[in-house]
């Protein structure tokens, strides 16, 4: 049995930032199901927000965030994030992040959707890569222990306190108990619940499922952001930075259709507005082969090569066209989970000893719709805060004795999976789940589409009881991991569906065709999913409003 003071599950930006914030006299370790620099944070393209511009202010950033999230974000947390952002960006720079520069040598900033000021700092269109590698260097410098390619299957909870995890060592095979006085979940998003998704295949909502199974509520799960511009067929992200640099959206008539939906902000309206507009264009027959076009040609070769080199490469590799000469066919795809493990602005959950930060958490700063560039910021600000708070919380804590019951239970679950004759395969169910969710819970939802998804989910859950893991070995058994991930995906999907059915209004990313208006009187409140044997049970909680009354 391994023992540490603090265990961080996940080694993306939030997890690494949290570990680095823990004072060095404490023993902190990270676990990650992939090598840390393969975490999805590495794929972030467009940038990270902070009010560092001469005539910008954190209050303006906070206002844009609250308004962009349709006032569902908790404003105490939004204030903390926006106020602390400039300092965090400067610290990242000191850690060695190579931000793009202005001709005067200052950190450059580009405009992003829903922002009243160009406040997105970036490293060309590979910002996540620059951030994650700098963070990994800091982690190495501190000689933090990393359990690389370890898959956490359950949280240890004893005497009402989270005191470690049970994890499967992918390389050697086998389950282990790891004890700690505090556990920080930083497991990222759940975008793979949908079939058309910008997310890495590892984004299966594991940490949300771990907390949910341990009795912690998941908040606002119905709010899944659909990014307006993902590449035709593959769903690969084409960064909002492309529009930030001046890219146009065109329909089949060659018309910049955003003038009908958001005449002032045009292509830089919030993501939910742009996604809905694209969806409507396609639905009303003004699309191009199930897509619309993102036109960058007028930006010119030099600017595209300097600011958007990765986008060009992706378009050439995966769509066979060069955006310097040809517009890119794009359509909306699942991108980001605004909901997650309910925490306060210091990452504390309702379960003592358990913390959460990054995309798996719902702090909540994004409300009903996240602004581009605010998620990388969230990982850094709340990763840091959570590391500090977790360290403070354990100064006088003792490790409770561990009974071994949870390890036994997990051993049973895995041996059942390994011995079951089938006939179902995890990939088939995952495929069907993704299609059902994309079809019924995409940018447009109605009671009947949601109900359809709910029925389909019940059937998928029954099928998942007959999963067959064909690889019976212990060494690098990815077949087994896919089965465990599927169990998480199904559970997370159910909270999205039940949350969406409950919320009878339209707000941000949650657009109900049968309730097209926003309804603050009844619905300016967070939804909370609690795990019950029969499925998620919903309760509701108030939103914290400080300085920006809903308008
Ligand atoms: C293509 C793309 C582009 C994006 N671009 C931007 C952008 O420009 N700006 C912006 O603000 N946001 C962007 N986002 C969103 C942002 O990148 C993510 O929300 C953020 O990076 C998530 O970071 P994280 O640390 O929470 O999780 P991740 O980086 O996803 O890391 C999760 C970690 O958890 C580990 N893990 C998960 N489950 C387990 C388990 N069961 N056991 C052990 N380990 C586990 C993984 O191995 C990984 O290390 C983008 C997202 C995508 C998909």
Give yes or no for a contact between 11 and 129, defined as CB atoms under 8 angstroms apart: no
Euclidean distance between the first and the last CA atom of the chain, given in angstroms as a whole number: 54
Same domain, residue pair 413 and 320 = no
81 within a domain of the structure (yes/no): no
CA distance 368 to 224: 8
- Residue 410 pLDDT exceeds 90: yes
Does residue 154 contact residue 211 with C-beta atoms inside 8 Å?
no
Three-class SS of 212-259: HHCCCCEECCCCEEEEEEEECCCCCECCCHHHHCCCEEECCCCCCCHH
The CA R_g of the chain, rounded to the nearest whole Å, is 22
pLDDT at 78 over 90: yes
**Gap from CA of 379 to ligand 1 centroid (Å):** 9
d(CA 367, CA 345): 14
Domain boundary pick from 290, 305, 330: 330
Please classify residue 138 by burial: count the beta carbons closer than 10 Å to its beta carbon, then call 0-12 exposed, 13-18 middle and 19+ buried. middle
Contact 245, 308 (CB under 8 A): yes
Q: 11 pLDDT exceeds 90?
A: yes
CATH of the domain at 265: 3.90.700.10
Give helix 206-213 / helix 478-502 axis angle, nearest 10°.
Answer: 70
Residue 400's pLDDT band, with cuts at 50, 70 and 90, is confident
At residue 47, the pLDDT reads 96
| Structural domain includes residue 283 | yes
C-alpha of residue 116 to centroid of ligand 1, in Å: 26
| 422 — pLDDT class (breaks 50, 70, 90) | confident
For the chain, what is the mean pLDDT? 96
> Residue 435 above 90 pLDDT?
yes
Is residue 113 pLDDT above 90, yes or no?
no
Residues of the domain holding 266: 232-330
Q: Is 161 a catalytic residue?
A: no
DSSP-based three-state secondary structure for 48: strand
Residues 509 and 410 in one domain: yes
In this structure, the residue with its CA closest to atom 9 of ligand 1 is: 373
Mean pLDDT over 38-49 rounds to 96
CA 17 to ligand 1: nearest atom: 25
Q: Which residue has the tokens 């993501």?
A: 271
Tell whether 42 is covered by a domain: no
Domain count, the chain: 2
The verdict on residue 305 lying in a domain is yes
Residue finishing a domain among 330, 364, 386: 330
190 Cβ inside 6 Å of ligand 1: no
pLDDT at 359: 98
pLDDT in tens, 468-511: 999 999 999 999 999 999 999 999 999 999 999 999 999 999 99
Q: Which phi and psi (to 5°) does residue 480 adopt?
A: -65, -45
Mean pLDDT of all residues in 362-389:
97
**DSSP per residue over 470-490, as a string?**
----STT-HHHHHHHHHHHHH
pLDDT of 116:
85
Domain boundary among 293, 310, 330: 330
**Is any ligand 1 atom within 6 A of the Cβ of residue 41?**
yes
Strands, E, within 22-121: which ranges?
28-32, 48-49, 109-110, 120-121
126-144 pLDDT per residue, tens: 999 999 999 999 999 999 9
40 ligand 1 Cβ < 6 A = yes
Which one is catalytic: 38, 110, 271, 503? Answer: 271
CA dihedral 277, 283, 287, 289 (to 10 degrees): 130
Q: Give the pLDDT band (50/70/90) at residue 539.
A: very high
The reply to whether ligand 1 has any atom less than 6 angstroms from the CB of 359 is: yes
pLDDT digits (tens, 9 = 90+) for 314-359: 999 999 999 999 999 999 999 999 999 999 999 999 999 999 999 9
- Residue 279 resides in a domain: yes
CATH number at residue 435: 1.20.58.100
Say which residue the tokens 């209050």 belong to.
Answer: 59
pLDDT at position 309 is 93
pLDDT at residue number 317: 96
| CA 440 to chain CA centroid, nearest Å | 20
Q: What is the rounded average pLDDT of the residues 233-240? A: 92
> Does the structure show a pLDDT above 90 at 402?
no
Name the residue at shortest CA distance from atom 13 of ligand 1.
44
User: Does residue 445 sit within a domain?
Assistant: yes
Query: If you average pLDDT over residues 272-295, what whole number do you get?
Result: 95
CB 333 within 8 A of CB 198: yes
Residues 321 and 412 in one domain: no
pLDDT at 403 over 90: no
Task: Please report the pLDDT score of residue 353 as a whole number.
Answer: 97
- Asked if residue 15 is part of any domain, the answer here is no
Ligand 1 nearest-atom number relative to CA 199: 53
Q: What average pLDDT score do residues 74-101 get?
A: 97
What is residue 449's predicted lDDT score, i.e. its pLDDT?
Answer: 98
**Cα atoms in the Cβ-side hemisphere of radius 13 Å centred on 476:** 2
Residue 190 host element (H or E) = none
Phi-psi region of 510 (alpha: psi -120 to 50; beta: other; left: phi over 0): beta
pLDDT tens column, 178-199: 999 999 999 999 999 999 899 9
Q: Report yes or no on 208 lying in a domain.
A: no
Match 């804590």 to its residue by tokens.
397
Ligand 1 proximity of 199 Cβ (cutoff 6 Å): yes
DSSP E strand stretches across 365-473: none
Of the candidates 278, 461, 363, 387, the residue with the CA atom closest to the CA atom of residue 23: 387
Q: Are strands 354-356 and 175-185 parallel, antiparallel or unpaired?
A: parallel
pLDDT at 48: 97
Lowest-confidence segment of 235-244, 373-382, 478-487 by average pLDDT: 235-244
Q: Which two tokens stand for residue 90?
A: 């400067």
């Amino acid at each position: 049995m391994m023992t540490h003071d603090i265990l961080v599950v996940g080694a993306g930006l939030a997890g690494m930032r949290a570990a680095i914030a823990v004072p060095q006299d404490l023993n902190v370790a990270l676990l990650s199901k992939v090598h840390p620099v393969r975490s999805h944070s590495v794929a972030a393209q467009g940038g990270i927000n902070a009010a560092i511009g001469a005539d910008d202010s954190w209050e303006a950033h906070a206002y844009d965030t609250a308004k962009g999230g349709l006032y569902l974000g908790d404003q105490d947390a939004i204030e903390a994030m926006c106020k602390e952002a400039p300092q965090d960006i400067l610290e990242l720079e000191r850690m060695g992040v190579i931000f793009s520069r202005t001709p005067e040598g200052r950190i450059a900033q580009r405009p992003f959707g829903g922002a009243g000021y160009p406040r997105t700092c970036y490293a060309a269109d590979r910002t996540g890569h620059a951030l994650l590698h700098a963070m990994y260097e800091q982690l190495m410098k501190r000689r933090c222990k990393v359990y690389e390619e370890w898959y956490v299957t359950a949280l240890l909870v004893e005497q009402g306190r989270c005191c470690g995890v049970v994890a499967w060592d992918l390389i050697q095979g086998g389950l282990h108990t790891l004890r700690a006085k505090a556990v920080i979940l930083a497991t990222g998003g759940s975008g793979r619940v949908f079939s058309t998704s910008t997310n890495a295949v590892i984004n299966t909502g594991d940490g949300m499922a771990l907390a949910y199974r341990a009795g912690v509520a998941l908040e606002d799960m119905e709010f899944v952001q659909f990014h307006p511009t993902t590449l035709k067929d593959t769903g690969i992200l084409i960064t909002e930075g492309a529009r930030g640099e001046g890219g146009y959206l065109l329909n089949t008539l060659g018309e910049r259709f955003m003038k009908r939906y958001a005449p002032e902000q045009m292509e830089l309206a919030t993501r939910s507005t742009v996604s809905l507009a694209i969806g409507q264009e396609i639905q009303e027959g003004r699309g191009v082969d199930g897509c619309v076009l993102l036109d960058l040609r007028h930006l010119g070769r030099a600017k595209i090569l300097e600011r958007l080199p990765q986008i060009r490469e992706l378009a050439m590799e995966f769509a066979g066209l060069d955006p310097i000469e040809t517009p890119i066919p794009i359509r909306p795809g699942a991108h980001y989970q605004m909901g997650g493990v309910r925490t306060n602005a210091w990452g504390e959950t309702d379960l003592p000893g358990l913390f959460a930060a990054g995309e798996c958490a719902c702090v909540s700063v994004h409300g009903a719709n996240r602004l581009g560039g605010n998620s990388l910021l969230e990982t850094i600000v709340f990763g840091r805060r959570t590391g500090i708070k977790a360290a403070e919380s354990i100064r006088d804590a003792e490790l409770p004795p561990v009974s071994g019951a949870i390890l036994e239970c997990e051993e049973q679950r895995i041996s059942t999976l390994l011995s079951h004759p089938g006939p179902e395969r995890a990939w088939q169910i995952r495929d069907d789940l993704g299609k059902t969710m994309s079809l019924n819970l995409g940018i447009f939802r109605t009671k009947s589409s949601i109900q359809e998804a709910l029925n389909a989910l019940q059937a998928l859950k029954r099928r998942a009881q007959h999963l067959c893991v064909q690889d019976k070995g212990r060494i690098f058994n990815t077949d087994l991991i896919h089965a465990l991930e599927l169990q998480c995906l199904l559970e997370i999907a159910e909270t999205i569906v039940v949350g969406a059915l409950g919320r009878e209004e339209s707000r941000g990313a949650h657009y109900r065709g049968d309730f097209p208006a926003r309804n603050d009187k009844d619905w300016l409140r967070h939804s909370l999913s609690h795990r019950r044997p029969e499925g998620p049970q919903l309760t509701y909680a108030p939103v914290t409003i400080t300085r920006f009354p809903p308008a």
